[in-house]
Amino acid sequence: DAKTTQPNSMESNEEEPVHLPCNHSTISGTDYIHWYRQLPSQGPEYVIHGLTSNVNNRMASLAIAEDRKSSTLILHRATLRDAAVYYCILKRNDYKLSFGAGTTVTVRA
Amino acid sequence: DTAVSQTPKYLVTQMGNDKSIKCEQNLGHDTMYWYKQDSKKFLKIMFSYNNKELIINETVPNRFSPKSPDKAHLNLHINSLELGDSAVYFCASSQDRGTGEAFFGQGTRLTVV
């Protein structure tokens, strides 16, 4: 499985933006970049995904580097409910989501 | 209306017992999965079924056997439970294998004593 590297943890203040980096230097041309998050005591939840272009949805934005070797998940205004573990995953066309250790996001009130 | 539902939510059992965890999805998806999250919080895929056929079978002991009676259900049966089987087990489903997002259940916390 192609590997991603994320910081272990990040802290943010409520209502401020959060930028979560992810490095994936071994990404192949057909790998999609997926982000999931896991709130405490819940199952993982899909956040966003992209291939080459930047993507926006109601939860977050995904900025993908031009060489695709890194990406950044942007939470525009963090709330206490955004405290979770965020996983950056390279998904191939093979049914499998391979989770790493993720980034634990703490939001301060 | 819960998209992916698992039962039971909690399961405490003794070593050596046999137990099952049930999963149902009402999203009309073709693919279902079982993941295991251990005490260190790593999520690992165990099995995947597509239209009732097994397509992913990671290195999981033979004591674990998935069964898919139809494409909306994927159950996990575990024989001769061991202490190391204690974990949270998540069921998930997705429409396709490529770009589609996966939907996860709330998890079943299995404790073997």
Q: What is the pLDDT of residues B78-102, one digit of tens each?
A: 999 999 999 999 999 998 766 678 9
pLDDT interval class at A94 (50, 70, 90): confident
Sort A44 into a burial class: Cβ within 10 Å, 0-12 / 13-18 / 19+: buried
Residues of chain B found within 8 Å of residue A32, distances taken between Cβ atoms: 98-99
Report the Cα B79 to chain-centroid distance in Å. Answer: 14
Query: Which pLDDT score is estimated for A16?
Result: 96
Helix (H, G, I), strand (E, B) or coil at A31: coil
Q: Using the beta-carbon criterion (under 8 Å), do A44 and B42 form an inter-chain contact?
A: no
Query: Which pLDDT score is estimated for B53?
Result: 87
Query: Which pLDDT score is estimated for A2?
Result: 63
Report the Cα B20 to chain-centroid distance in Å. Answer: 10
Query: Which pLDDT score is estimated for B40?
Result: 83
Per-residue burial over B28-50, b if 16 or more Cβ lie within 10 Å, else e, is ebbbbbbbbbeeeeebebbbbbb
DSSP assignment, residue A68? Answer: S
Contact B76, B62 (CB under 8 A): no
Report the Cα A10 to chain-centroid distance in Å. Answer: 12
Query: Which pLDDT score is estimated for A41?
Result: 92
- Touching B: A residues 53-72, CB under 8 Å: none
What's the pLDDT tens digit per position in A63-92? 999 999 999 999 999 999 999 999 999 988
What's the pLDDT tens digit per position in A11-56? 999 999 999 999 999 998 889 999 999 999 999 999 999 999 999 9
Neighbouring residues of B98: CB distance < 8 A, sequence distance ≥ 6: A32, A91, A93
Q: Using the beta-carbon criterion (under 8 Å), do A95 and B31 form an inter-chain contact?
A: yes
Interface residues of chain B, partner chain A, Cβ below 8 Å: 4, 31, 33, 35, 41-45, 48, 50, 55-56, 90, 92, 94, 97-99, 101-107
Query: Which pLDDT score is estimated for A78?
Result: 95
Contact B108, B11 (CB under 8 A): yes
Query: Which pLDDT score is estimated for B98?
Result: 63
A57: closest CA among A65, A67, A49, A69?
A49
pLDDT interval class at A104 (50, 70, 90): very high
Give me the residues of chain B with pLDDT under 50, please.
Answer: none
CA distances from A51 to A28, A82, A93, A101, B67 (A): 11, 24, 12, 22, 34
**What's the whole-number mean pLDDT along residues A83-103?**
89
Q: Which of B68, B101, B103, B106 to mutate against chain A (most A CBs within 10 Å)?
A: B101
Q: Pairing mode, if any, of strands B53-57 and A18-23?
A: unpaired
Q: Residue A43: how many CB atoms within 10 A of its CB?
A: 22
Query: Which pLDDT score is estimated for B108?
Result: 98
Rg (CA), chain B: 13
